[in-house]
Amino acid sequence: QSVLTQPPSVSGAPGQRVTISCTGSSSNIGAGYDVHWYQQLPRTAPKLLIYGNTNRPSGVPDRFSGSKSGTSASLAITGLQAEDEADYYCQSYDSSLSSWVFGGGTKLTVL
Amino acid sequence: EVQLVESGGGLVQSGGSLRLSCAASGFTFSSYEMNWVRQAPGKGLEWFSYISSSGSTMYYADSVKGRFTISRDNAKKSLYLQMNSLRADDTAVYYCARVAVGAIYIDYWGQGTPVTVSS
């Protein structure tokens, strides 16, 4: 059971918009800790996708965006492309656990 | 170009030990905090160990506390993980990961090294 809760899977057709939620609690996201997102393409290492809730590293398309509100955060992907098919993980810090925490991951399928 | 290359993974019997290494290049290794993160087969990511840039401060998840030891050699630009008393549930791909400066997120990941613990 992950400290941060994500839906196991989402799907969308090419060109559509999808969102992935990340729900935490008052000891992590709700405590003001930033949320970060990673993309893991099949059989590869994770890669930083969004940092500090809303920021994209250089090279990440602006089709990817992040937001945070209260004890939750979301990753939005617009203009879905086949190459976006991957697992997506949110990550934050939990003050009660004194630990970095990840969401359980969401598998995005492009139909 | 930032590169993190793990080595040392393999097959080990339950109760055994293994030492992982991570060779860093393309950045000033001594200036960065580092993490180890693992991923069990078909499962999600699990953070389990952190070390400060100087090596003076280490943190561990409860799942590995007392069994695993993180260390670094800044002169050799290398990160290490000593794993003792290995159990079947330690079977995973182990990633070396660089912590972004002044932040609590990972900006670069290694390619990972697989560890299989047989019972």
Nearest neighbour of B44 by CB, restricted to A52, A93, A104 = A104
For residues B115 and B119, what is the distance between their CA atoms, to the nearest angstrom? 13
- Cβ atoms of residues B5 and B68 within 8 Å: no
What the block records as the tokens of A109 is: 């399928």
**How confident is the model at residue A46, as a pLDDT?**
98
- Cβ atoms of residues A93 and A25 within 8 Å: no
What the block records as the tokens of A39 is: 């993309």
**How confident is the model at residue B106, as a pLDDT?**
98
Q: How far is CA A93 from CA A29, A34, A71, B6, B12, in A?
A: 8, 8, 12, 25, 32
* B86: contact with A, CB 8 A cutoff: no
A-chain residues near B50 (CB < 8 A)? 100
Question: Could you tell me which chain A residue has the CA closest to the CA of B59?
Answer: A99
**How confident is the model at residue B92, as a pLDDT?**
98
**How confident is the model at residue B78, as a pLDDT?**
98
Question: Could you tell me which chain A residue has the CA closest to the CA of B6?
Answer: A45
- Cβ atoms of residues B109 and B5 within 8 Å: no
* B109: contact with A, CB 8 A cutoff: yes
Nearest neighbour of B104 by CB, restricted to A34, A40, A103 = A34
* A103: contact with B, CB 8 A cutoff: yes
**How confident is the model at residue B68, as a pLDDT?**
98
Mutation target among B36, B48, B104 for the A interface, most CBs of A within 10 A = B104
pLDDT over 90 (residue A83): yes
**How confident is the model at residue A52, as a pLDDT?**
97
For residues B100 and A49, what is the distance between their CA atoms, to the nearest angstrom? 13
pLDDT over 90 (residue A80): yes
Nearest neighbour of B111 by CB, restricted to A45, A92, A99 = A45
* B6: contact with A, CB 8 A cutoff: no
- Cβ atoms of residues B4 and B110 within 8 Å: yes
Beta bridge partners of A25: none
Give residue A1's pLDDT band: very low, low, confident or very high (50, 70, 90): confident
- Cβ atoms of residues B91 and B65 within 8 Å: no
Nearest neighbour of A102 by CB, restricted to B46, B107, B110 = B46
Q: What are phi and psi of B79, to 5 degrees?
A: -115, 145
A-chain residues near B109 (CB < 8 A)? 45-47
Which of B55, B43, B56, B37 has its CA nearest to residue B98?
B37
**How confident is the model at residue B119, as a pLDDT?**
87
Residues lower than pLDDT 70 in chain B:
none
For residues B72 and B50, what is the distance between their CA atoms, to the nearest angstrom? 11
